[in-house]
Amino acid sequence: MSYKAPLQDYAFLLHRVMRVQTLDIPGYADLDEGFTGAVLEEAGKLATEVLSPLNAVGDREGCVLENGVVRTPSGFKAAFDRLRAGGWMALDCETEFGGQGLPCLMHTVVNESFVSANMALNMYQGLTHGAYSALRAHGTAEQKAYYLPKLASCAWTGTMNLTEPQCGTDLGLIRTRAEPDGAAWRITGTKIFISAGDHDMAENIVHLVLAKAPGGGEGTRGISLFVVPKLLPDGSRNAVSVGKLEAKMGIHGSATCVMHYDGAKAWLVGDLHKGMRAMFTMMNEARLGVGLQGYAVAEAAYQAASAYARERVQGRAAEGAGPAQPLIAHPDIRRSLMDQKAFIEGARALAFWGAALIDRGRHGDAGAEGLASLLIPVIKGFLTDKGFEATVQAQQIWGGHGYIEDNPASQFVRDARIAMIYEGANGVQALDLVGRKLASDGGKAIRTFLATVLAECQAQDGDPVLEPLAKPVKRAAGQLQEALGYFMSVAGTSPHDALAGSTDFLHLMGHVSLGLMWLRMARVAAAEADTSPFLQAKLVTARHYMTRQLPACALHLARILAGGETLMALDAEAF
């Protein structure tokens, strides 16, 4: 069962819902339907014909560490060469560095196809894109000229080195040290969980490493960012090595390495002791990419499960007469598939909107940048939580065959699980949303978001098709406002009560966000639904989301209003 890119849905979102050519964002006027269709069709072919067949190969073979070099699974290097030759890694990189200069939105759409087809293989270029972004924003002119063309083409690949054995999220505890060495530095320490830390698909690997330099003080204030190439400019090997490959639950084709820096030569990126600011430049982009992974893997799992449900004969229909029917005849199978479909298509619309906001922000729109920053924890956290849930639903449709490794369902579940953890575990995303993002800039972004939702709802007043869809969204937005009011009432006196509801708030806001997306899609679909089965399906799926998913907002609100008393009452020894 081979993955196929949902090209019709891409075109619907880009040209009928978002109407990209009408948006006043630089580069969007060039995104006519002929151009985007050609790009996305070619990306879809690569995903189906080149990447997807290697997905199970990568899962089965994994990576191997041999004599200090990581060997990737059979076929990965040839596939990576195909992607590199087509310039697919550099879609939104600047033309001056060899990129194609397209918006982040186009990179996002193409990236979805590649992740759905083979998440593990796509991670090598994804990490490279992050390294490119950090160096573009904070590197010196010399660093940009030296590294960016190689990273844009993926002749060299990149990594992000944050986590250490004794610390993950709390980066103030890192022990990796940087000592000055003339115009350069020397890095000593160990980093763990480094995706694409070593492999055999590129000429060089460019590590971005957080380390503490002298004079910076304790905590995160003392952290600086350094670029540490595997191979030095003279071609010699730097003092960086792979200690081991992690044995992981999933994404076996992605090399997750323990990296040792033994006095490795390095160069400062950005200002001394300002490494956190430099590293977090790429976080909105990186977390958007991880949120995309959540629903993109779910899309591949859904495609396989829906095909199986149409083919697998099992049990009689509810009426009880006649021969056994395919699984798709049974209401509970339909429930599961509709839940998956409604989530995936809504999540896709939200990710595309997030990418467009990032594009606006890149061109100086502070309001769009603020709204993107507010939505990023939701995109990362909600879409990966629900994406994993969707892969489990897809696996369930296979029954016992979903638990057998001869079939694809298990891999989708195992691969999707990591997206809830890395780039900031989802609990951290929820704390970031409630603890920082809501109050940022005086709460301007959350007020803008709520105003956007309510305006979309009010625009449907009096419409016989759309007003019934808008009412549940408006009700959910009211529940979101009530949760905000509760947080404001307890934040000063009982922060535990506010933070105890952070994950529920993230999910509440996620549901409201997808409700907004489905209302936008339904508005477009309603105009022509009578003549298009595709658009009729959009309206039915919108109704499904409003009636069977949005009611979860009431549950999340009830949990938020319950506060944190039961969470904090027991002594640690009681657990």
Q: pLDDT tens across 474-514, in order? A: 999 999 999 999 999 998 899 899 999 999 999 999 999 99
146 and 177 co-located in one domain: no
For residue 182, pLDDT over 80 is answered with yes
Confidence of residue 124 (pLDDT cuts 50, 70, 90): very high
CA distance 408 to 56: 8
Is 257 contained in some domain?
A: yes
In this structure, are 168 and 95 located in the same domain? no
Q: Give the rounded percent of residues in the chain with a pLDDT score beyond 70.
A: 99
The answer, yes or no, to whether residue 66 has pLDDT greater than 70, is yes
Assess if residue 136 is contained within a domain.
yes
Note whether 202 and 100 are same-domain residues. no
Specify whether the CB–CB gap between 228 and 187 falls below 8 A. yes
Query: What is the pLDDT averaged over residues 539-556?
Result: 98
In angstroms, the CA 124 to CA 527 distance is 42
One-letter identity of residue 431? L
Confidence (pLDDT) at 340: 98
**Quick one: angle between helices 502-526 and 366-397, nearest 10?**
90
Give the tens place of pLDDT for each residue, 241-256. 999 999 999 999 999 9
Could you say which of 273, 304, 333 is where a domain stops?
A: 273
Residues 250 and 138 in one domain: no
Looking at the structure, tell me whether residues 165 and 122 fall in a common domain. no
DSSP string, 522-535: HHHHHTTGGG-HHH
Whether residue 449 is predicted with pLDDT greater than 70 in this model: the reply is yes
pLDDT, one tens digit per residue, over 314-334 is: 988 777 667 889 999 999 999
Residue 316 is predicted with a pLDDT of 82
3-state SS track over 109-165? HHHHHHHHHCHHHHHHHHHHHHHHHHHHHHCCHHHHHHHHHHHHHCCEEEEEECCEC
For residue 320, what pLDDT is reported? Answer: 67
Q: What number is the average pLDDT over the span 119-127?
A: 96
Question: For position 466, what pLDDT does the model report?
Answer: 97
550 pLDDT higher than 90: yes
* Average pLDDT rounded to a whole number, residues 441-448: 97
Question: Band of the pLDDT at 1, cuts 50, 70, 90?
Answer: low
Task: Identify the pLDDT of residue 213.
Answer: 94
pLDDT per position as a tens digit, 195-221: 999 999 999 999 999 999 999 888 888
Q: What is the CATH number of the domain that holds 231?
A: 2.40.110.20
Mean predicted confidence (pLDDT) in 54-64: 98
Counted domains in the chain = 3
Mark whether 84 and 221 lie in a shared domain. Answer: no
Residue 529 has pLDDT above 80, yes or no: no
Residues 89 and 199 in one domain: no
Q: Provide the pLDDT for residue 276.
A: 87
Supply φ then ψ for residue 69, to 5 degrees.
Answer: -120, 135
- Give the whole-angstrom CA distance, residue 303 versus residue 309: 10
**Cβ–Cβ < 8 Å for 442, 459:** no
The answer to whether residue 142 is domain-embedded is yes
Note whether 223 and 269 are same-domain residues.
yes
Do 113 and 50 lie in one domain? The reply is: yes
Write out the DSSP string of 160-202.
EE--BTTBSS-GGG---EEEEETTEEEEEEEEEEEETSS-SSS
Q: Does 355 fall in a domain? A: no
- Residue 251 inside a domain? The answer is yes
Backbone torsions φ then ψ of 568, nearest 5 degrees: -105, 0
Residue 368 lies in a domain: no
**Residues 184-215, buried b or exposed e (16+ Cβ, 10 A)?**
ebbbbbbbbbbbbbbbebbebbbbbbbbbbee
Of 451, 477, 472, the C-alpha closest to 544 is 472
93 and 173 inside one domain: no
pLDDT band with cut points at 50, 70 and 90 for residue 437: very high
The structure tokens 């959009």 sit at 538
Mean pLDDT score of the chain: 95
Range of the domain at 23: 7-153
Question: Can 96 be counted among the known catalytic residues?
Answer: no
pTM above 0.85, yes or no: yes
Residue 252 in contact with residue 59, Cβ under 8 Å?
Answer: yes
On whether residue 222 sits in a domain, the answer given is: yes
Looking at the structure, do residues 70 and 203 belong to the same domain, yes or no? no
Torsion of CA 408, 409, 410, 415, to 10 degrees: 90
Is 281's pLDDT higher than 90?
A: no
Q: Are residues 145 and 165 in the same domain?
A: no
- Choose the catalytic residue: 112, 345, 423, 456: 423
Confidence check: pLDDT of 469 > 70: yes
Final residue in a domain of this structure, among 252, 273, 294: 273
- For residue 412, being part of any structural domain is answered with no
Domain boundary pick from 100, 135, 153: 153
Domain harbouring 39, CATH code: 1.10.540.10
How high is the pLDDT of residue 492?
Answer: 84
